[in-house]
Amino acid sequence: MRRLRYQVAASLDGFIAGQKGEYDWIVNDRSIDFGALFKEFDTAVMGRRTYEVLTAQGGNGSLAGLDVVVFSKSLPPTTSKGVRVTRDDAEDVVKALKAQPGRDIWLFGGGALFRSLLDAGLVDTVEVALMPVLLGAGIPLLPPGAAARLELVDQKALPDSGIVALSYRVRGRRSQGARIRYIKPRKPGTKRAATKRGRSGKARTAGKRSGKKRATLRRD
């Protein structure tokens, strides 16, 4: 069965955005290969706020060839190229998606959708890119709710930027955890530049995604 994988960037103190939704604190590291990461998925699911962040950049919210499903009770149901907005129950839709053949499903955001699908026992992995930043306050990685136990599967430290990528398997799930395969090997004697993002109107990222646009590691 296809895995539902939650991938997100977070501050060291557990926030995925600032108090006003700002994301200019996220660090860029060129060793993160977002093209390779996107090839691990063929579908992305997200909540309304994440979708609105993407559409604010221009376009219809599509993601590098992935089939995008947006869950919203307020937006009208629509279907456009690569994007479907639905008012259907997220649990039912995700269960049906997981039963279909294909690559893994990216739980693209946000925290509220993560909470509901985690409580429903549908999230297989939690993959967090920890930024070397302490925000002090902001939007949390996960809203309050029931506890969940995780099993560490893989970890990668990126010394030039200070990012630590962690991949966990949700205990109780039969699926395997996800190895971190999207980090480019560092060439001997090469130092990679790491820079902070500015508020350029693009989605919050931990690096470039598959070409011209950046990948959003986002929340609801």
What CATH number did the domain enclosing 14 receive? 3.40.430.10
- Give the pLDDT mean for 87-99: 97
Q: What DSSP character marks residue 112?
A: H
pTM of the entire predicted model: 0.83
Q: Is 198 exposed, middle or buried (0-12, 13-18, 19+ CB in 10 A)?
A: exposed
Domain housing 23:
4-196
Average pLDDT over residues 117-145: 94
Residue 155: partners with Cβ closer than 8 Å, 6 or more residues away: 164, 165, 166, 167, 180
Q: What is the CA radius of gyration of the chain?
A: 16
Instruction: Tell me if 142 sits within 8 A of 118, measured CB to CB.
Output: yes
Type of residue at 21? G
CA separation for the pair 208, 183 (Å, rounded): 12
Q: Is residue 43 part of a domain?
A: yes
Total count of domains within the chain: 1
Residue 59 counted as domain residue:
yes
Whether 89 maps to a domain, the answer reads yes
Phi/psi of residue 113, each to 5°? -65, -40
Residue 215 lies in a domain: no
pLDDT at 189: 60
How far is the C-alpha of 31 from the C-alpha of 72, rounded, in Å? Answer: 35
Q: Does the residue 209 lie in any domain?
A: no
Residue 218 lies in a domain: no
In the predicted structure, residue 160 carries a pLDDT above the cut 70: yes
Q: Which two tokens stand for residue 109?
A: 């955001």
Q: Is the pLDDT of residue 204 over 80?
A: no
- Please tell me the predicted confidence (pLDDT) of residue 131: 97
Q: Does 102 fall in a domain?
A: yes
Type of residue found at 184: K
Return the pLDDT at 190. Answer: 56
Section 104-120 average pLDDT: 93
Rounded CA-CA distance 1/121 in Å is: 14
Cα distances (angstroms) measured from residue 162 to each of 55, 58, 166, 167, 179 = 30, 31, 13, 17, 20
Quick check: 218 pLDDT over 50?
no
Please compute, for residue 35, the number of CA atoms within 13 A of its CA located in the half-sphere on the CB side: 6
**Can you name the residues that pair with 29 across neighbouring β-strands?**
194
Note the pLDDT of residue 199.
37
Q: How confident is the model at residue 188 (pLDDT cuts 50, 70, 90)?
A: low
pLDDT tens digit sequence for 13-56 = 999 888 877 788 999 999 999 999 999 999 999 999 888 878 88
How far apart are the C-alpha atoms of 123 and 149, rounded to whole Å? 12
CA distances from 83 to 4, 25, 47, 80, 192 (A): 18, 29, 12, 5, 35
pLDDT digits 0-9 by tens, 117-128 = 999 999 999 999
Q: Let me know if residue 88 belongs to a domain.
A: yes
